[in-house]
Amino acid sequence: MAPRPRPHYMRRMTQPPVAARIPHATTHHGIVRDDPYDWLRDPGYPKVEDAAVLGYLAEENTWFDAWMAPHAATVDTLFAELKGRVKDDDSGVPVRDGAFDYWWRFDAGGQYRIWLRRPAAGGDDAVILSEPVEAAGKDYFRLAGISVSPDGALAAWTADDDGSERFKLYLRDLSTGADTLVATTAIGVAVWAADSASFAWTEVNDAWRPYRVRLHRLGEAAGSEDDAVLYEEADASFFVGLDRSTDRSHFLITAADHVTSEVRLIPTSDPAAPPVLVSPRETGREYDLDVRDATVFVRTNDTHVNFRIATATLAAPGVWTDLIPGDDRVYLRGLTAFASYLAISERVDGLDGVLLRYDDGRETKIAFPEASYTVGIGSNPEPDAPLLRLGYSSMVTPSTVYDYDVAADRLIVRKVQDVPSGYDASAYRTERLMAPAADGTLVPVSVVYRADFPRDGSGRLHLYGYGAYGLAIPPSFSASRLSLLDRGFAYAIAHVRGGDDMGYRWYLDGKLEARTNTFTDFVVSAHALIAAGFASAGNISISGGSAGGTLMGVVANTDPGLWRAVVADVPFVDVLGTMLDGSLPLTPIEWPEWGNPGEDAEVYRQIAAYSPYDNVTAQDYPPILITAGLNDPRVTYWEPAKWAAKLRATKTDANPLLLKTNMGAGHGGKSGRFESLRETAEEFAFLLAAFEAKA
């Protein structure tokens, strides 16, 4: 075995680091793959202690700091702007749950939320949990959630303190604030039994896969090994999820990958009862459900790609009768079975909507004030919702919390996002373009810009994309985005295939063998924006993260001349290498999304043809900023590190290439509302520098 490179990161850096190349090759289907930067994967992962690896990452961070140093004033200015748009002492809108109203607040200057409640009948406010207290002394803190017992006396809460998404589970006595550590292998939010004497929680294994649901009974010893197993999933390609029906009658245990799912029911009144399988998994069929009394409401794609809604009974939950059939235009995205109506999230021709359906067959579509917007059903924890909590925004309208009065058919504004430094919506415009793809498909592109933005191709344009897992990127408001708009940028979102922006078929048409549609849709979106006068070629900056980082890597390889700068956050760029490695926790569940190149030679060739790391070539690239998280379990740190190393060794230009690795964080970057804003300020400063360098 070739020796591992020695770290030399203590020296003063005047040039970007150059990673060592160590020969490493693998062969699949008779095809040899060279991977000279494979050494950047620490053999002890998830622990990263190899001195050579840490040394290289430290060098890259030192180089990032050195490059950013001349731009420190810009970063500080941007950070001040971003922070000035955040309400310092912000608070949430209270929501009723049983005998209490619950909400959160930020104290002035606080990085983290404080969670509170007060008796619904009147009384004093009480702190349930203070994130600032729990985060004290930690470089990273993320609260997954708090679940209060039905009797209101206890709370189960989960938190991650290093970004690895391996959460600690605690039980808190709300009368004293005293905590008991229940487990160190939890994920998600606990669900209480009806009698408040036990709660269910989801456990991850050593490979980080959520695979088991356990039951913790009050009074039993802490530690996961003492908690009864309610369900365990044996298939390494399936993750387990836990929820509760809206009527609070059942635990809902889901086992799923990206295309197949099944659900089991356990009464919350009898947690020890054997789980009832609703319908066995069938490859390619997804379903989810809710329960109201003896009726099961099922959303499934078994007969239509855009899903249908069916009903069943608890006595025969797998026998489904059509309630709302599938429709080519109407994408049924979710359902909640309240006591007096069914609330359905839908998307019609790409536009969000909320439909209420009553038992007598009547339907109400909630009307909203703009032509283009995003809306979703918010927190409605009680079994019925005569006032339905909604979240709404558009690219020019700040986030708004509505209560929809069901009886009166009217929206009640509960909160509008405050922009303390000032915001005048009339100064901005938004529109939607349709970009024609080569196959005739029209790709939606949402754009926002100042009213005085020039439409002659001379302006600056930033284009964002994602395109995977059926996750739409909504045309929503961003206060941070104003710092670009007010500096002469238009900001666009390409709703490329791979998301579900235009229905579930939109997702299917951007995955597996159709994955390249995602990439070409993004490029044609850029050309449509150029044709509409928003920019000229080479005057467009782009960004995307995670699977959106795959997109960034591909289009940087295929169309480098289109882009002024590229920002790739925690980018999934070694697609081929990761999909070949079934020992990684996320790989088996990802095969239905990307394909299994180890088993199928054609899949290997398809992925190899676009995988960003494998297709870096000797050509000029635009300025590129790459971020990573050392503890990231979703996109392992070595993917962006290997990509940066190969780019630096291969590209033929002198443009900046920066890699910043958060050494104490994971997939989402730094925690705390202001720390994350500083990272945004750094990215904006990088973009501004790229435009000004060629101005």
For the annotated catalytic residues, the residue numbers are 546, 632, 667
Residue pointed to by tokens 């490695």? 581
User: E strands, 106-225, where?
Assistant: 114-119, 126-130, 142-148, 154-160, 167-173, 179-192, 198-204, 210-217
Classified as helix, coil or strand, 586 is coil
Element (H, E) at 384: none
Residue 23 preceded by cis peptide, ω within 30: no
User: E strands, 410-483, where?
Assistant: 410-416, 428-436, 442-450, 460-464
Q: Quick one: 348 exposed, middle or buried, by C-beta within 10 A (0-12, 13-18, 19+)?
A: middle
Residues comprising the chain, all counted: 695
Cβ-based neighbours of 108, under 8 Å, separated by 6 or more: 88, 89
Classified as helix, coil or strand, 192 is strand
**Dihedral-angle region of residue 350 (phi above 0 means left; psi in -120 to 50 means alpha; beta otherwise):** left
The amino acid that residue 178 corresponds to is: A
Question: Cα–Cα distance between 571 and 568 in angstroms, integer?
Answer: 6
Residue 146's nearest CA partner among 133, 136, 131, 132 is: 131
Question: How crowded is residue 634: how many other Cβ atoms within 10 Å of its Cβ?
Answer: 17
Measured in degrees and rounded to the nearest 5, phi and psi for residue 392 equal -140, 145
User: E strands, 207-294, where?
Assistant: 210-217, 228-232, 239-244, 250-256, 261-267, 276-277, 287-292
Cβ-based neighbours of 360, under 8 Å, separated by 6 or more: none
Element (H, E) at 236: none
Question: Cα–Cα distance between 118 and 99 in angstroms, integer?
Answer: 9
Question: Cα–Cα distance between 241 and 256 in angstroms, integer?
Answer: 8
Classified as helix, coil or strand, 523 is helix
Residue pointed to by tokens 């709300």? 174
**Dihedral-angle region of residue 632 (phi above 0 means left; psi in -120 to 50 means alpha; beta otherwise):** beta
Q: Note whether 530 and 457 are within 8 A (CB).
A: yes
Which tokens in the block code for residue 651? 């590209």
Residue 465's nearest CA partner among 509, 517, 536, 508 is: 517
Residue 336's nearest CA partner among 386, 292, 287 is: 292
